[in-house]
Structure 1
Amino acid sequence: MQALHILQIDASARPGLSGIDPRGSHTRRLTSRFIERWQAARPQDSVTYRDVGQQPPSPVSGDWIAAAFTRPERRSEAARAQLAESDALINELLRADLIVIGAPMYNFGLPAQLKAWVDNVVRVGVTFGFDRSRQGEPYWPMLSPGKRLVILSSRGDYGYDPGGRLGEINLVERGLTVPMAYLGLTDTHSIAIEYDEFADERLRASISAAESAVDELVGKLARDAIDAAAPALAVA
């Protein structure tokens, strides 16, 4: 089977895993489970791990913007240094076939650390193109096709799924799917734990349902990966 590469990103400010560590993270629990199940199903695949919750990327600055909008051949050494971290994050994204992001809900949206990652990988001339003279839409995506995004979230309240009582104020999934689609990554899947603030049987049931959904999604995506590789192997 053709090997794939996975990019695992954790963004929770909590360092541990719920169910194991005191006050541990639900999203880290889900991403860890996803990767463990995936590696059991496809041990040939490799994983890059990025913990933006504990080691946040630098936020975009005026110098970063000036460097990003300078043509590569005209960048000074200082400008290249400004973009070094962005280059590393983008290279991880470009290499990945599957991106698994643990994205807890903080005040209805993404943690600042994860937003900083988004801002560092959405970059003109690298992950999206722009040309004022281009007829029609002047922007276009530059990520290679076939990548998949899995968003594993957690929420203090409940009803944040589409059509739910709080669905309209859930900015977590859209905070990732909108910019990633802009880059060309449109195949996305989302699973979330809810009821964290209630800390009762509803939370326990939500955790159990989310873990079952993770297991099911791993099985589906792993089967899809095998099916996608089959025609290429047949031709070879």
Structure 2
Amino acid sequence: MTTSILRIDASIKPEGSISKQLTGDIVARLTAAHPDATVTTRDLGANPLPVTDGAWLVAVNTPVDARTPAQAEIAALSDALIAELKAADTVVIGLPVYNFAPPAQLKIWIDQMSRAGETFNYSEAGPVGLVKDTRVIVAYSSNGTRMGSDIDFASGYLRHMLGFFGITDVQFVASDHYAIDADSSMKAANEGVAALVA
């Protein structure tokens, strides 16, 4: 049952983004089946997150009651992003491929949430993800980097990081050869959206 949807867009295009079109189509399909579901949207291209740096590292690793006001502000954003992820039972992520890899904007979103004790823990058996019972649908878009090919460094990275957080229910919808054959690329993506179990 889908009750809370988190939509993450990462395209830097103000208009004409295929990944945004697909995330919109996916969310529309989900909300048509579950009209009472809430949708939270973050457009990382239009509203980029601050990069994780030394100040961020110190802030999130300082005990809450010992943080300066500046550190509290830095940590609060990271906390909010983690809370959004954990609150969603379905996450829809736009993954436009730039230079064979995920956009920097999406990488920063992941970096902001990569915190021991929050999204993962280390155990004697290795890392253990702390985000459970979450479904992710990824809208993969590329002009010619075929998903799963030797030059695709985007989809595998995202799947790995989601798994690192504990999310293993990950599905992909792909328009991955748009510059080569736009019609067949979008046809494949639209068929993928239509085949999703809402």
TM-score, normalising length: structure 1: 0.79
CA contact (8 A) 2:114 2:120 kept: yes
Q: For residues 16-95 of structure 1, what are the structure 2 equivalents within 5 Å?
A: 16=15, 24-95=16-87
Give the root-mean-square deviation of aligned CA atoms. Answer: 1.6
Q: Which amino acid aligns with 2:124?
A: Q
Which residue number corresponds to residue 147 of structure 2? Answer: 161
- Measured against aligned partners, the alpha-carbon deviations of 1:171-227 in whole angstroms (never above 9, x if no partner) come to 1112211111111011100111122223xxx2111102211210211xx2x3xxxxx
Asked if 1:186 is matched to 2:168, the reply is: yes
1:141 & 1:79 partners in 2: Cα distance? 26
Q: Which amino acid aligns with 2:7?
A: Q
Change (3 A) 1:108 1:46: same
1:28 & 1:172 partners in 2: Cα distance? 17
2:20 & 2:51 partners in 1: Cα distance? 23
Q: Which amino acid aligns with 2:41?
A: Y
Which residue number corresponds to residue 116 of structure 1? Answer: 108
* 2:150 counterpart SS class: helix
Which residue number corresponds to residue 96 of structure 2? Answer: 104
1:85 & 1:73 partners in 2: Cα distance? 17
Deviation at 1:3, TM superposition (A): 5.4
Q: Larger radius of gyration, structure 1 or 2?
A: 1
Which residue number corresponds to residue 128 of structure 2? Answer: 140
1:31 & 1:70 partners in 2: Cα distance? 36
2:115 & 2:14 partners in 1: Cα distance? 29
Q: Which amino acid aligns with 1:183?
A: F
2:120 & 2:178 partners in 1: Cα distance? 37
- Measured against aligned partners, the alpha-carbon deviations of 1:137-158 in whole angstroms (never above 9, x if no partner) come to 3x32111x21011110111115
CA contact (8 A) 1:194 1:203 kept: no
1:96 & 1:104 partners in 2: Cα distance? 22
Deviation at 1:72, TM superposition (A): 3.1
1:7 & 1:176 partners in 2: Cα distance? 16
Q: Which amino acid aligns with 2:147?
A: D
Deviation at 1:108, TM superposition (A): 0.4
Which residue number corresponds to residue 6 of structure 1? Answer: 5
2:135 & 2:33 partners in 1: Cα distance? 17
Q: When you count helix as a share of all residues, which structure comes out higher?
A: 1
Paired residue total: 198
TM-score, normalising length: structure 2: 0.93
Q: When you count strand as a share of all residues, which structure comes out higher?
A: 2
Which residue number corresponds to residue 177 of structure 1? Answer: 159
Unpaired stretches in structure 2, ≥5 consecutive residues:
none
1:13 & 1:168 partners in 2: Cα distance? 25
Percent identical pairs in the alignment equals: 35
Q: Which amino acid aligns with 1:135?
A: E
Q: Which amino acid aligns with 1:6?
A: I
Unpaired stretches in structure 1, ≥5 consecutive residues:
17-23, 223-236
Q: Which amino acid aligns with 1:65?
A: L
Asked if 1:127 is matched to 2:127, the reply is: no
1:69 & 1:52 partners in 2: Cα distance? 24
1:71 & 1:184 partners in 2: Cα distance? 25
CA contact (8 A) 2:178 2:186 kept: no
